Amino acid sequence: GYSGTPPDCISDIPGVAPIIVEGMCSQRSGLKGKFEPVARTASGRPWYKKANGATLYFDPNHWGVVQNFNNWLFGGQEPSTTATNNLNGVPGAYFGLSEDLTTQNGYPVGGGDLPPFGTTTWTVNCGGTDTQVEVTITEIKVELSGSNTGKCAVSGSCFSSLNYGYDEECTFTVFEGGVLDVISFNTEECCDKLAVGGVEYEGTIGPEGVTVSAGDQITWSSD
């Protein structure tokens, strides 16, 4: 099994899962894809970052003291975790703003403790023009299900059995489809196996890049 320092596959924010963003206009295609939770801002809400540097966070007042706009917004800078408004330091700067039922001066206002999941309308700066765009945000999650033994654990979209022992039996159920990203995989060949979609993986060859769908079950067993 895996030995040494556990790999960093667990979110730094317990209970907050990575998210997938879909939709967007072609000019903002860089905002599509997987965002990982990084930390919490002064408002207590998590902020997220994509591998290309794009960010998603809640700003209680992204215009600073001039206006009172509070939105989830996409940006290109990491937000301050201590400031209480204008978290990127540039008043009114954004790639996209979350919509709500209330507007001020024609701009959307509103935000909850987490980003608006599901499909909602955002005001997105597409090529210099604010455009109403349907954006879909979903959490990536997998959970333990059934009767399980051993060190199996789940946090957000990461599942593992670090430093596993004898006679483990675990079932992980996928609730959001996606592609598996193997952080570390090292089992006893012949006997300790992870099964995904009817295919068994053992030794140091894990299910990297394998696509799973909502409802799929992944099983782990050791002798």
Where do the DSSP E strands lie in 76-207? 96-98, 102-104, 107-109, 118-126, 129-139, 142-144, 153-155, 158-160, 169-174, 178-179, 193-196, 199-201
**Position 65 confidence tier, pLDDT thresholds 50, 70, 90:** low
Note the pLDDT of residue 15.
Answer: 64
**Position 66 confidence tier, pLDDT thresholds 50, 70, 90:** low
Confidence (pTM): 0.64
In the predicted model, is pLDDT for residue 177 greater than 80? no
In the predicted model, is pLDDT for residue 7 greater than 50? no
- What are the domain boundaries of the chain? 19-139, 142-221
Helices then strands, each counted (H, E), the chain: 0, 19
